[in-house]
Amino acid sequence: MDNDELLDMRFKISPKIEFEVDENGIVTILEIQDHKIQKFFRKLKFKIPKYKKTKLDDFGSTVFLELNKNKTVREVGEALELKFGEKVHPLYERLLVFINHIYLNLNYIEKLS
C-alpha cells in the first residue's frame, strides 16, 4: 500500500467503545471489565472497578474525535497541524503509528470501506 492510499483511508470509532469527553476536549476511553473472574471477585466484595479508564493526551484526543467525523487520515493530519502547529511534526509518521495502534492493538476504531 503506498502513502496516498494510507492517507486516503477513513476510520470511525468502534460502536463497542464507550468514551467521555471533558470540557477541555480530552477523551477518556472506558473499557468494561466484565471477565468472569472480575465478576466473581466483585461478588466477593472486592473493589474492582467496572471500567478501566484510559485518558488520551491532547494529540490523541484530537485524532480520536476527528476520525469519527468521516475524515481521511490526510484530513485528520491537516486538522492536527492547524491546531498544534510544529508540535506534531513529523506529522504523518506519528499519526500513522498512533492510528495503527488504536486500530490493530486496541480495537478503538474501525476502518471504513
Domain ranges of the chain: 3-111
Does residue 113 surpass a pLDDT of 80? Answer: no
Does residue 39 surpass a pLDDT of 90? Answer: no
Q: Which residues contact 29 (CB under 8 A, 6 or more apart)?
A: 17, 18, 19, 53, 54, 55, 56, 108
Residue 15: the pLDDT is 93
Calculate helix-pair angle for 58-67, 73-84, nearest 10 degrees. 140
pTM, two decimals, is 0.86
Which H or E run includes 112? none
**C-alpha cell at position 90:** 513529523
